[in-house]
């Protein structure tokens, strides 16, 4: 039903304005209730907040903030979480269709806003990516998230929301989504559940031959490379200083990988990070006249004179074995000739 959507949007925004006036934005030195430079700077300086882990009986919201998804996959996800002891609510428009999207921008905003504003919801699970999150990002009012933080779970286009959470000093979960549950490995599904329950799993992996050895500590950030690239120079570009950057991507031309890394280099980002984790680089395409390098060679070339650890083939991204990563957490990242470890501190 699309009747009354505009009214719902206005109601939600009015309610959120009340949150803003009585929320975390009312800080010493802040003279108004919006996302001012003062409040944004304060949030940037904050240490990452530890979000409450989920317990049996907690409520999870399933929302579709981007591309449309088959209804049966959403219902199967509901069954999956209920099987593991959680309550589940499905957004009103999560199983809808509006051209490419699950709903109009206003409808998708309503679902996500209600999940943010509902104090009983402890985690917002995005059912798929695709494209569309950026269209609703700045329609949302985040005051309730700041007052009562909760998990956002997903990957790919959901990287848009991960970067907004990073901006707020809040962790989020880069993990598989209901679109992929049927094909996912057990590790992908259960590292997601374990992370939500407060027990994120460390990684111990065999080292790939293209890796660059070293050890570093820092805050784990990142997500989909193309989305991170699209946010360069925007108010949602994260502070990459002293971080461990994770990237993954899907169906990009090899020359585009090179182009994006040159953009990151020219923005000074490659000189600021302490380590690079490369996850699934899935279904990459060569040009009609071959580019002449593998994606590993392209990326390694950008770190010839940068002395940081680099690991390829990390089990996260557009792959079946898409294991959960706790973005915003402090980690120790070690790459040797035989092993790769990523340990939460």
Write out the residue range of the structural domain in which residue 262 sits: 203-344
Residue 7 has pLDDT above 90, yes or no: no
Half-sphere exposure for 8 (CA within 13 Å, toward CB): 17
Question: What is d(CA 151, CA 29) in angstroms, rounded to the nearest whole number?
Answer: 29
Max avg pLDDT among 6-10, 48-52, 234-238: 234-238
Residue 229 forms part of a structural domain: yes
**Which pLDDT belongs to residue 20?**
39
CA distances from 161 to 135, 166, 170, 255 (A): 11, 9, 11, 27
Q: How many domains does the chain have?
A: 2
**Higher-pLDDT residue of 250, 28:** 250
SS3 at position 36:
coil
Shared domain check, 223 and 181: no
Residue 15 forms part of a structural domain: no
Which has the minimum average pLDDT: 28-32, 82-86, 189-193, 292-296? 28-32
Residue at a domain's end among 167, 196, 225: 196
Residue at a domain's end among 165, 196, 227: 196
Shared domain check, 177 and 223: no
Shared domain check, 329 and 255: yes
Residue 5 has pLDDT above 90, yes or no: no
Question: What is d(CA 226, CA 10) in angstroms, rounded to the nearest whole number?
Answer: 33
Shared domain check, 207 and 94: no
Residue at a domain's end among 196, 214, 239: 196
pLDDT confidence tier of residue 25, bands split at 50, 70 and 90: very low
Residue 271 forms part of a structural domain: yes
Phi and psi angles of residue 255, each rounded to the nearest 5 degrees, phi first: -65, -30
Question: What is d(CA 301, CA 39) in angstroms, rounded to the nearest whole number?
Answer: 39
Residue 145 forms part of a structural domain: yes
Residue 30 forms part of a structural domain: no
**189-239 residue pLDDT tens:** 999 999 999 999 999 999 999 999 999 999 999 999 999 999 999 999 999
Quote the DSSP letter at residue 180: G
pLDDT confidence tier of residue 11, bands split at 50, 70 and 90: low
**Which pLDDT belongs to residue 33?**
30
Shared domain check, 218 and 333: yes
Residue 35 has pLDDT above 90, yes or no: no
Residue 130 forms part of a structural domain: yes
CATH of the domain at 248: 3.50.30.60
Residue 39 has pLDDT above 70, yes or no: no
Question: What is d(CA 330, CA 242) in angstroms, rounded to the nearest whole number?
Answer: 11
SS3 at position 279:
strand
Pairing of strands 330-335, 325-327: unpaired
Residue 16 forms part of a structural domain: no
Phi and psi angles of residue 258, each rounded to the nearest 5 degrees, phi first: -60, -45
Shared domain check, 178 and 55: yes
Shared domain check, 192 and 53: yes
**Burial class of residue 62 in the structure, from the number of CB atoms within 10 Å of its CB (0-12 exposed, 13-18 middle, 19+ buried):** buried
Residue 34 forms part of a structural domain: no
Shared domain check, 176 and 247: no
Cβ atoms within 10 A of the Cβ of 29, count?
9
Shared domain check, 265 and 188: no
CATH of the domain at 126: 3.40.50.10740
Shared domain check, 340 and 226: yes
**311-345 residue pLDDT tens:** 999 999 999 999 999 999 999 999 999 999 999 99
pLDDT confidence tier of residue 181, bands split at 50, 70 and 90: very high
Please list, in sequence order, all residues whose beta carbon lies within 8 angstroms of the beta carbon of residue 313, skipping any fewer than 6 positions away.
205, 208, 278
Q: What pTM was computed for the model?
A: 0.88
């Amino acid at each position: 039903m699309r009747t009354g959507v505009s009214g719902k949007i206005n109601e939600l925004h009015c309610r959120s304005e009340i949150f803003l006036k009585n929320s975390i934005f009312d800080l010493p030195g802040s003279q108004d209730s919006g996302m001012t430079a003062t409040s944004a700077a304060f949030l940037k300086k904050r240490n990452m907040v530890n979000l409450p882990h989920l317990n049996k009986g907690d409520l999870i919201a399933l929302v579709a903030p981007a591309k449309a998804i088959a209804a049966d996959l959403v219902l199967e996800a509901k069954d999956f979480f209920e099987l593991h002891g959680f309550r589940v609510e499905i957004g009103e428009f999560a199983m809808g269709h509006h051209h490419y999207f699950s709903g109009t921008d206003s409808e998708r905003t309503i679902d996500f806003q209600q999940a943010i504003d509902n104090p009983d919801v402890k985690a917002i699970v995005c059912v798929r990516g695709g494209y569309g999150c950026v269209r609703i990002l700045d329609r949302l009012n985040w005051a309730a998230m700041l007052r009562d933080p909760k998990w956002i779970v997903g990957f790919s286009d959901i990287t848009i929301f991960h970067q907004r959470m990073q901006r707020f000093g809040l962790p989020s979960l880069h993990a598989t989504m209901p679109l992929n549950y049927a094909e996912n490995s057990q590790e992908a599904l259960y590292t997601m559940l374990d992370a939500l329950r407060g027990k994120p799993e460390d990684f111990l992996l065999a080292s790939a031959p293209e890796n660059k050895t070293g050890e570093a500590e820092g805050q784990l950030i990142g997500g989909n490379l193309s989305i991170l690239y699209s946010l360069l120079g925007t108010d949602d570009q994260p502070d990459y200083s002293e971080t461990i950057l994770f990237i993954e991507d899907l169906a990009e031309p090899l020359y585009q990988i090179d182009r994006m890394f040159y953009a990151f280099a020219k923005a000074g980002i490659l000189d600021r990070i302490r380590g690079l984790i490369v996850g699934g680089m899935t279904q990459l395409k060569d040009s009609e006249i071959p580019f002449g390098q593998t994606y590993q060679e392209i990326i390694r070339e950008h770190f010839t004179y940068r002395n940081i650890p680099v690991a390829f083939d990390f089990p996260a991204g557009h792959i079946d074995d898409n294991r959960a990563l706790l973005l915003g957490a402090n980690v120790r990242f070690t790459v040797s000739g035989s092993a790769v470890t990523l340990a939460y501190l």
